[in-house]
Amino acid sequence: MTDDVAVLGAGLHPWGKWGRGFVAYGTAAARAALLDAGVGWREVGSIVGAATVRGGYPGHVAGATFAKALGWQGARAASVYAACASGAQAINTARAQILAGIADVVLVVGADSAPRGFFRPADGDRPDDPDWLRFRVLGATNPTYFGLYARRRMAVHGDTADDFARVKVKNAAVGALNPNARYRKRLTVEEVEASAVVADPLRLLDICATSDGGAAVVLSSMEFARRHGAAAPVRIRSVSTVTPRFPNTVLDLPDIATDSAVAVEPSGETFRSSIARTAYEEAGIGPDDLSLAEVYDLSTALELQWYEDLGLCAEGEAAKLLRAGATTLGGRIPVNVSGGLSSFGEAVPAQAIAQVCELTWQLRGDAGDRQVAGARVGITANQGLFGHGSAVIAVR
């Protein structure tokens, strides 16, 4: 298709707590992606950096910061901040540049050096900032929201703590096979349920950590890919970066209230399901065409919610899909065969790019022991604070 762009290379810096700055992680990931692509840094016409508040001013603005670290060579530079959707929006920016003919080869990089504990707003008083307000007014940390989502699923769909634990067990099993994952230990349901309660009903092992890490991809026009000798590269078919619709009747980070639906009927789909629908429509495919999915499992309960939002099953049937083994490696529709955030932790601007790296390796058949047999189509899904959608569909 003329609107496809090629993924020539993918690279990661392993996730963990390494005690270094984000520039080191992003630069390592970028060099790995360039090496994987067989492309020299001087061939790159543009670099797009996915940013966080930790990677912004003073001293750093992601796009130019990574360009400087790799060696000034005159490439265009852009920086994108969209919280956890930053990586997908950076990929979307790179894709737009390629399709517009602005650059033939674009390097996309995201990296983070995360704080210990849960994420919280930057310092300072900002009474018009909903993220600041939910901490100041309610003390509602991220795990508080994760617990509310889990309670909602239990009340509405009958999910159980055992179901949540099974998600962790599934992801830990494949995370143990991933050399870039931070946590590489297999677990049992009993071990998950024996971990400390953080936000009832979720326990420590139900919630992802904050991590350091970096990810990068090298994207190009299809014409450049052919000239470069990549006759059948992995291709990005669609990117969805939609925003919610009014009224939003399901509580969502970082807001502390929902919209009234008295005057306007709700749209009939949630924000997250609209992210996936938009990606499917642009790509001209549906959930039944998927070989695998990489989703944003901030908590085990949230992974189950994504099964429904992606259309992998009907509403309320995510736990049934999990129990049947459909989302495990070797199942009908494997989910988070990288190990997910459960095994990696959050490195905010890198994680949506890392999802595309995993799709790239899977669609090439290069994923080793965690390879999905015959993988042809994959989707990523996550969301960023303040209404940033994020989904990428890649094909081979």
pLDDT value for 205: 98
Specify the number of domains making up the chain.
2
Which pLDDT belongs to residue 73?
A: 98
Mean pLDDT, residues 95-107 taken together:
98
Q: Are residues 201 and 83 in the same domain?
A: no
CB-based contacts of 57: which residues, under 8 Å, 6+ apart? none
Same domain for 295 and 371, yes or no, is: yes
Tell me the per-residue pLDDT of 106-164, one tens digit each, with 9 for 90 and over: 999 999 999 888 888 878 889 998 889 988 888 889 999 999 999 999 999 999 999 99
Q: Are 222 and 263 members of one domain?
A: no
Gap between the Cα atoms of 137 and 370, Å rounded: 44
pLDDT digits over 257-298, tens only? Answer: 889 989 999 888 999 999 999 999 999 999 999 999 999 999
| Cβ-defined contacts of 61-69 (< 8 Å, 24+) | 62/26, 62/109, 62/110, 62/349, 65/23, 66/23, 66/26, 66/27, 66/30, 66/107, 66/109, 69/23, 69/26, 69/27
User: Same structural domain for residues 159 and 246?
Assistant: yes
Please check whether residue 46 lies inside any domain of the structure. yes
Per-chain mean pLDDT for the chain: 95
- Residue 128: which residues within 8 A CB-CB, separation 6 or more? none
What pLDDT digit, counting tens, does each position of 25-56 carry?
A: 999 999 999 999 999 999 999 999 999 888 77
Please say whether the beta carbons of 252 and 271 come within 8 A: yes
Per-residue pLDDT, 251: 80
Calculate mean pLDDT across residues 373-391. 95
Q: What is the pLDDT of residue 144?
A: 92
Alpha-carbon distance of 375 to 391, in angstroms, equals 18
pLDDT at 59 over 80: no
Whether residues 83 and 136 share a domain: the answer is no
Question: What is the arithmetic mean of pLDDT over 304-311?
Answer: 98
- Record the tokens describing residue 330, joined without a space: 């070797």
ω before 334 within 30° of 0 (cis)?
Answer: no
In this prediction, residue 268 carries a pLDDT of: 85
27 and 109 in a common domain: yes
Residue in this structure with the two tokens 């290379």, named with its chain if needed: 9
What are the residue ranges of helices labelled H in the chain?
22-37, 62-70, 86-99, 130-133, 142-157, 161-175, 189-194, 222-227, 271-283, 300-309, 318-323, 340-344, 348-364
Share of the chain above pLDDT 70, in %: 99
255 has pLDDT over 90:
no
What's the rounded mean pLDDT across residues 363-367?
Answer: 98
Q: What are phi and psi of 140, to 5 degrees?
A: -85, 90
Model pLDDT, residue 2: 60
Q: Which of 292, 303, 287 is nearest to 171 (CA)?
A: 303
Strands lying side by side in the sheet with 234-240: 76-80, 46-50, 105-113, 212-220, 5-16, 234-240, 388-395, 377-384, 292-295
Burial class (CB in 10 A: 0-12, 13-18, 19+), 257: exposed
Give the whole-angstrom CA distance, residue 70 versus residue 41: 8
Say if residue 259 is in the same domain as residue 241: yes
pLDDT band of residue 176 (cuts 50, 70, 90) is very high
Q: Given this model, what pLDDT does residue 115 score?
A: 87
Residue 187: give the domain boundaries.
130-207+237-395
Residue 122 lies in a domain: no
CATH of residue 226: 3.40.47.10
Residue 210 has pLDDT above 70, yes or no: yes
Q: Residue 124: inside a domain, yes or no?
A: no
CB–CB of 36/5 below 8 Å?
no
Residue bearing the bigger pLDDT, 225 or 136: 225
Query: Does 260 lie in the same domain as 227?
Result: no
Does position 234 have pLDDT exceeding 70, yes or no? Answer: yes
